[in-house]
Structure 1
Amino acid sequence: SMYLTSTALGGLLTAFVSISLREYQRKRITAFLDPWADPLGNGYQLVQSLMAVGSGGTFGVGYGQSVQKLFYLPIQYTDFIFSVYAEEFGFVGSIILLLLLFTYSTFALRVAVNCLHRVKRLIAIGVMVMMVGQALLNIGVATGGLPTTGLPFPLWSYGGSSTLASLTLAALLIRVARESNEADILPLKKTVKG
């Protein structure tokens, strides 16, 4: 408990010092707190993101029919991909996406609970936190609930390294699930030319 408290306080102090010394970080925080104060400057991304999310309405404008992604919303294929998704599929589609994230986290936690090996259990929990947590952070940024962090949406955002990392994490979770079920793991046999 004391270790967690001291770590949290140290992190908050470091963040405060960093924001105090770097002007661009200060601008991110002020733009997050009131993006409409400078809608064509520092608050532009968030304003356009909120307009995209709001434009979706209940059922969205339809797959591929997003207007914001064409000219207005910067970095819409990585950091703000959820904004385009919400515009095209609306509130109902966004709820379905959140339910998919909930399902993924439920399966990951079931794998962790069923695992008897402590290290493998920690791997399963870590994968769940990374995949679902990063997705929720991305959604929080796109909807104005969190300051811009630059985190992609796992398995959705454009980018080879992000996709590779997400697939590697998913593969680790599958490996833990297979070993927890005591399935036979077949080793790759070396072929000897002779």
Structure 2
Amino acid sequence: MSAVPAEDGRTRRPGLREQVVAAVGLLDRPLTSYYLVLGCTFMLLALGLTMVLAASSVKQLQETGSAYTLVQKQAMWMVLGVLGMWGASRLPVRTFRTLAYPLLLLSVVALALVLVPGLNQSANGATRWISFGPVQLQPSEPAKLGLVLWGADILARKERLGQLTEWRPLLMPLLPGAGLLAVLVMLGDDLGTTMVLLTILLALLWVAGAPGRLFVGVVGLVAMVVSILAVVSPYRMARLTGFLDPEGNAHGSYYQGIQGLFAVASGGWFGTGLGEGRAQWGFLPHPETDFIFAIVGEQFGLVGTLVVLHLFGLLAYAGLRIARRVKDPFTRLAAAGATSWLLVQAIVNIGAVIGVFPITGIPLPLVSYGGSALIPTLIALGMLLAFAKREPGARQALAARGPGPVVRALSWLGLARR
């Protein structure tokens, strides 16, 4: 921060209070949300690509002869996702509302196809993927975006009609629609994704201003359903038992959790160094997907994990800031729903790695390996960028900023007008 003039005419360094005031002033700028979403997204993407390489290089070298097999696929999906994010950031709000219903319908059809023998593929007790030869699709990931858009549109229409004060108009057809998605996902034994879908439902109801008793009743219903589903399946019950008694199941159902804790603990303050961890040598199962945070903790230490937490915290702040500042009900609801989806998924993933929650198998957004999760997440973040442009003063600030870097580069080459 630059020096400021003192009363005697000499310059002095600003004090802590002035620095805090200046930092708060930066957060009040019209494009703060836009740049926070953009910056945090690309930093998490860069970290994710690096950690996928660090986590998978040894196994891929042994199995395929190349240490870069998975990271090349992740880079390809990242490029496709960034293109999707860029496209979504340029769409008007009415386009998102138009796409809500087709996306939800396609999600329901795809989730039903997961249950068809011969098309589906199972792993670790869950049937989550549709297999088309070498291509695999996990339809529960775009279903999250479909529920966000459809639920926001339904509640925005009901708010315009003044139907948010009574339980029947408020919950119909939102609750049956979300319930159908949750049932289809649970038929594939994917409790983690079911929890995320139900969290999106609760977030939409909360932001819509559901009456307190109704909201508490829905929370209780969701908690009861999740608890029942957690104990009726043998493999989920084994995971829950391992979580409750980790030492007694260190070599059984909770082996992955124990090894994840060992990896995080062995990182210390600053980590073992990039590519120097022990977990990547086969000690930790699936380190590139749902336990990639353990690799971050081992190789970058406590400092690295805190950086990841702060990036997700800033991303959540930006998303909620957008939801608070925009005027359109659909935009507010969709921004809150997408933010809750990403934040809760990150919390559940990180909590499972550090032993706070049972292992659910859901990925860490933007960091874990997998295109089915990465591309819808980036499209949702592109939607947040589009909404951030609708904050008060954002359009004027963007117009005053002048041409973007692509136009400036073309103008330097004489291929575009300044």
Q: TM-score, normalised by structure 1?
A: 0.88
Query: In structure 2, which of residues 233, 237, 241 is the aligned counterpart of residue 22 of structure 1?
Result: 233
Deviation at 1:28? Answer: 1.0
**Which has the higher mean CA deviation after the structures are superposed, 105-114 or 58-67?**
105-114
Say if 1:134 and 1:17 are closer, same or farther in 2 by CA, change over 3 A.
Answer: closer
Tell me the residue number matched to 2:376. 165
Relative to structure 1, the CA distance from residue 6 to residue 130 in structure 2 (aligned partners, 3 Å threshold; closer, same or farther) is same
For 1:86, the equivalent position in structure 2 comes to 297
Equivalent position to 1:32, from 243, 247, 259: 243
Are 1:55 and 2:257 counterparts?
no
Q: Which amino acid aligns with 1:110?
A: R
The question of 1:142 aligning with 2:353 is answered yes
User: Which stretch shows the higher mean deviation, 139-148 or 18-27?
Assistant: 18-27
> Quick check: 131-140 or 82-91, which moved more?
131-140
Higher RCO (CA-CA < 8 Å; seq separation 6+): 2
Alpha-carbon offset, residue 44 of structure 1: 0.4
Percent of matched pairs sharing the same residue: 34
Distance 2:230 2:293 in 1: 27
Mapped to 2, the partners of 1:32 and 1:2 lie a distance apart of: 32
Question: Amino acid of the residue matched to residue 22 of structure 1?
Answer: S
Aligned match of 1:114 in 325, 333, 341? Answer: 325
Q: Distance in 1 between matches of 2:335 and 2:243?
A: 33
Aligned pair in 2 of structure 1 residues 13, 82: CA closer, same or farther (>3 Å)? Answer: same
* TM-score normalised by the chain length of structure 2: 0.42
Output the CA distance in 1 between the equivalents of 2:390 and 2:298. Answer: 41
What is the Cα deviation at residue 54 of structure 1?
0.4
Aligned equivalent of 2:278: 67
Structure 1 residue 123 corresponds to structure 2 residue 334:
yes
Q: Partners in 1 of 2:343 and 2:221 — Cα distance? A: 26
Task: Provide the C-alpha distance between the structure 2 equivalents of 1:15 and 1:112, rounded to a whole number of angstroms.
Answer: 28
Distance 1:126 1:90, change over 3 A: same
Inter-partner Cα distance in structure 2 for 1:105 and 1:38: 35
- Deviation, 1:19, is 3.6
Alpha-carbon distance, 1:103 to partner? 1.3
SS in structure 1 of the partner of residue 390 of structure 2: helix
- Indicate the structure (1 or 2) with the bigger Cα radius of gyration: 2
Q: Deviations over 1:127-178 (max 9, x none)?
A: 2111222111110011110011111111111001111011111101001011
The runs of 5 or more residues in structure 1 that have no matched partner are 185-194
Q: Distance in 2 between matches of 1:12 and 1:136?
A: 17
Q: For residues 11 and 124 of structure 1, what CA distance do their matches in structure 2 show?
A: 22
Q: Corresponding residue for 1:192?
A: none
**Cα drift, residue 118 of structure 1:** 1.2
Per the alignment, residue 310 of structure 2 pairs with 99
* Residue aligning to 1:77: 288
- What are structure 2's unaligned runs of at least 5 residues? 1-211, 399-418
What secondary structure, in the 3-state scheme, does the structure 2 residue paired with 1:102 have? helix
Structure 2 letter corresponding to 1:172? M
Q: Which has the higher strand share?
A: 2
The more displaced of 132-141 and 11-20 is 11-20
Q: What is the identity, as a one-letter code, of the residue corresponding to 1:32?
A: F
Deviates more, 1:18-27 or 1:141-150: 18-27
Distance 1:111 1:39, change over 3 A: same
Deviations 1:90-111 (A, max 9, x none): 1111112111111111222222
CA deviation after TM superposition for structure 1 residue 24, in Å? 1.7
User: Per the alignment, do residues 127 and 21 of structure 1 end up closer, same or farther by CA in structure 2, a change over 3 Å counting?
Assistant: closer
The answer to whether residue 257 in structure 2 is matched with residue 41 in structure 1 is: no
